Amino acid sequence: MAHAFTADDWPIAACIHGFPTATRDGIPAADAPAEFWAKQFRHLTAEGFRHVELADGWIKPALLSAERRTELLETVAAAGLAVPAVHIARASVIDPVDGEANLAYHHASVDAVAELGAGVYSTGLHRPFTDGQRAALWFWAAQGPVDPNDDRETWDLAVARLREIARHAADRGLTMALELYEDTYLGNADNAMRLVEAIGMDHVGLNPDVGNLIRLQRPVEDWREAYAKTLPHANYWHLKNYTRDEDGAGNFLTSVPSTMRDGLINYRQVIELALEVGYSGVFTMEQYGGDSIGVCGENARYTRGVLSTLID
């Protein structure tokens, strides 16, 4: 079958989890000189990346002045990179405290992302970490916030507010992707599909980051089933992997980050399935812990190798 790209030119982006959020002098990344930004981007180009996903955990584009957004984009371009997507996290529009403020922040972010020239607005229903998550070695080992089950009013609010953001995104020429994330209304494959279908807009799809689910140190849905359900709805994709071990009785469950090749998910199989169902979006490499940038580079080379076996 025909594909959107070749193995060599398929856009594979790096996440920026490995970027420091402040200079050594304590200046936040958003306020740091462009030279600080350039230094970070050079690490990505050294790993062979031509694309980078900007995320608001590093710099919030909506809070930058127009001049600094231009400076950021110029710095990215000078490093030989392009920005296909921006990811906005931990700003749930149904947060019981900050939901309305987060909605306004999303609207400002849509405009900023459009000005950066990105094509994808990636977000979800993540909420800020709890104290327990911040204290844990791996934040997913502690319980985070939970969207209320069987609460039709909150569900309807999520649909309405996400649809409102989606309309704005469409007006600015952006695709919108909603990321799978534990204990939210995007916390399993069935709920994620139901939410996208309830929003009911063609440019709104899923970011099927099943890695967010298989890392949980509790029983989880089978990754094969989760991908089989969500990939047909995917328009953007975070890829990462974890090793996982359990005793079968639920008395022992553990997970730690791994390369894409070595973790629980067989990405050779999953990428083949994605192409079979017509996936044509960006692959974004994600990694927590250690040399995140280096592992993302290794994962990108692995992904291109897999693509080379699947694309004529």
Task: Output the 3-class SS for 6-49.
Answer: CCCCCCEEECCCCCCCECCCCCEHHHCCHHHHHHHHHHHHHCCC
> From the CB of residue 79, how many other CB atoms can be counted at a distance below 10 Å?
21
Summarize pLDDT for 226-256 with one digit per residue, the tens.
Answer: 999 999 999 999 999 999 999 878 788 999 9
Band of pLDDT at residue 1, cut at 50, 70 and 90: low
Of 53, 54, 51, 55, which is closest to residue 81 (Cα–Cα)? 51
Topology (CATH) of 12-310: TIM Barrel (3.20.20)
Model confidence, pTM: 0.96
8 pLDDT more than 70: yes
Domain ranges of the chain: 12-310
The mean per-residue pLDDT over the stretch 43-67 comes to 97
The mean per-residue pLDDT over the stretch 29-41 comes to 98
Summarize pLDDT for 93-142 with one digit per residue, the tens.
Answer: 999 999 999 999 999 999 999 999 999 999 999 999 999 999 999 999 99
d(CA 95, CA 104): 13
What pLDDT, on the 0 to 100 scale, is given for residue 251?
A: 82
Band of pLDDT at residue 312, cut at 50, 70 and 90: confident
Top pLDDT among 249 and 85 is at 85
Summarize pLDDT for 146-197 with one digit per residue, the tens.
Answer: 999 999 999 999 999 999 999 999 999 999 999 999 999 999 999 999 999 9
d(CA 309, CA 119): 28
Summarize pLDDT for 262-293 with one digit per residue, the tens.
Answer: 999 999 999 999 999 999 999 999 999 999 99
**Cβ-based neighbours of 194, under 8 Å, separated by 6 or more:** none
Of 90, 102, 99, 100, which is closest to residue 127 (Cα–Cα)? 90
Of 70, 9, 64, which is closest to residue 31 (Cα–Cα)? 64
d(CA 115, CA 73): 9
The mean per-residue pLDDT over the stretch 21-45 comes to 97
Residue whose entry in the numeric block shows the structure tokens 């958003």: 30
Tokens of 163: 């649809």
Q: Which residues pair with 246 in a beta bridge?
A: 253
The percent of residues above 70 in pLDDT, for the chain, comes to: 100
